[in-house]
Amino acid sequence: MEIVKNSVWSTISVGLRGLFSFFINKVISFYFGPSGITFLSHFQNLSSIFILLPNDGVNKGIIKYLSDPRLEERNKHILVSTGLGLSLGLFLITVFLFLFFKEFFPNPFPDTDRNWLFTALLLFGLQVINYYFLSILLSQKRLPTYVMIHVGGNFLSLLLVILFSFRSQYDIALLGWAAGPASAFLISLFFIWKLGLLRILGEKISLRIKAIKNLGEYILVALSILVFSKITDFAIREFAILEYNPEQTGFWQAVVRISDFYLMAFLAYLNMVYYPKASELSNMKNQGGNFTRKFFLGSAPVLALGLLLIYLLREQVLILFFNRDFLPAEGYFGFQLLGDLMKMHSWVLSFLLLAHARVRLFIASQGIFAGIYLASVYYFTLESGILGLPVAHFVRYLLYWLFMVFVYRKLLSGQN
């Protein structure tokens, strides 16, 4: 019954967030065309570089450990305060590294200055705090509150993007997108205060060190995703902008943004429904593997049929999400959708690795397949130009899925 209830709230959350994202795409494409979509994708990727370490590192650990009903109240306070300190610390370290190495990379956002950059960094920092508080709410099974705050932040993003796009300021519109979830931190702060989890204890330093060690494995996982996924994607998009120009890159990014809709939906479902349950069953012999098998077999045909439908209606989908100016993007769909199918299948299995705390294996696999992706990009773009990018995407996740199937079978045999 609980998983059904959580699925309903997950569906509501993903549906509304997807709707707001859809309208943001429409607004940006109407006012700024394919180049605007390129810069929106690049800016969102930039934000993820600063947010990912705290969000996928600290927050996933917070959800795992705070959701344990056996955890003492005192240890909850220690874990919450330690996690907040780690989140802010990781964010500041990322900012420092970014500013230190900034001169080595050309500014991909035309007509922006230092004030614009520092405003963006401030908004990213507030997002980090908001997402941390939201993870605490999720760990305490306050899913309705979590959904309302998340959706509220996305709705505010849409309003600000419309306002600033109407004034033909693409750079300010990007900041408007970031300001939505950044402002929502005030609401999430209120609910955390209502739960009584803001009290910071100074005693038992040893417990704080233990909490850091527990969260450390998740931070390492997030670091691998940051380096081998987000930064890799950012570098490849930068390569495409410089090599093929922002407009041509925008056609490729239009298809990527369409795939982001269903990938976001599936990832949100995994985070809110699948991962907490897989973590709960990870210490029970055979239970985690059986749950993953049922989940995989149930989701696989639905995902395949959905992506086939998108491919058959790709012209109508492009017009719906953007406008007729984006129809040259039709040629990118085939390999992008095949790669996305493999990506979602591999997510189901890789989340099981995290639930079983197989951190080293997860990190190693991220690095190996990022290298395969870069090599594939180099080879296929030489052969086919920018059309080689979705081909490289497919090759990466086909091989990653095959690898994860092998690991999954080994993991199950070790439990028997």
Which range, 64-73, 109-118, 188-197, 313-322, has the best average confidence (pLDDT)? 313-322
Q: How far apart are alpha carbons 79 and 65 in whole angstroms?
A: 8
Nearest to 42 by CA among 168, 174, 229, 166: 174
Residue 274 identity (one-letter amino acid): Y
For residue 331, with 0-12 CB atoms within 10 Å meaning exposed, 13-18 middle and 19 or more buried, which class applies? middle
- pLDDT tens digit string along 16-74? 888 888 899 999 999 999 889 999 999 999 999 999 888 887 887 777 777 666 666 66
Nearest to 313 by CA among 341, 343, 333: 333
Q: How far apart are alpha carbons 75 and 63 in whole angstroms?
A: 14
pLDDT at 207 over 60: no
Q: Is 141 left (phi over 0), alpha (psi -120 to 50) or beta?
A: left
Residue 171 identity (one-letter amino acid): D
Which residue in the block uniquely carries the two structure tokens 């080689």? 388
DSSP assignment, residue 104?
A: G
Contact between 132 and 182 under an 8 Å Cβ cutoff? The reply is no
pLDDT at 114 over 70: yes
- % of the chain beyond a pLDDT of 90: 36
Q: How far apart are alpha carbons 121 and 208 in whole angstroms?
A: 28
Domain ranges, ordered by start, for the chain: 1-224, 245-416
DSSP assignment, residue 100?
A: H
Nearest to 398 by CA among 331, 325, 338: 338
What's the confidence (pLDDT) of residue 200?
Answer: 47
Helix, coil or strand: residue 167: coil
Element at 115 (helix H, strand E)? helix 114-139
Residue 102 backbone phi and psi in degrees, to 5: -60, -35
- Cβ neighbours of residue 369 under 8 Å, at least 6 residues apart? 228, 396, 399, 400, 403
What's the confidence (pLDDT) of residue 65?
Answer: 74
Q: How far apart are alpha carbons 329 and 327 in whole angstroms?
A: 5
Contact between 9 and 267 under an 8 Å Cβ cutoff? The reply is no
Residue 260 identity (one-letter amino acid): D
Residue of 386 and 414 predicted with greater confidence:
386
Which pLDDT band holds residue 366 (cuts at 50, 70, 90)? confident
Beta strands per DSSP E along 121-220 = none
Assigned token pair, 339: 């790669």
Q: How far apart are alpha carbons 191 and 210 in whole angstroms?
A: 27
Which residue in the block uniquely carries the two structure tokens 């609980």? 2
Lowest mean pLDDT, pick from 209-223, 259-273, 371-385: 209-223
Nearest to 48 by CA among 213, 260, 225: 225
Which pLDDT band holds residue 206 (cuts at 50, 70, 90)? very low
- pLDDT tens digit string along 382-395? 989 999 999 999 99
Residue 75 identity (one-letter amino acid): N
Residue 300 identity (one-letter amino acid): A
Residue 1 identity (one-letter amino acid): M
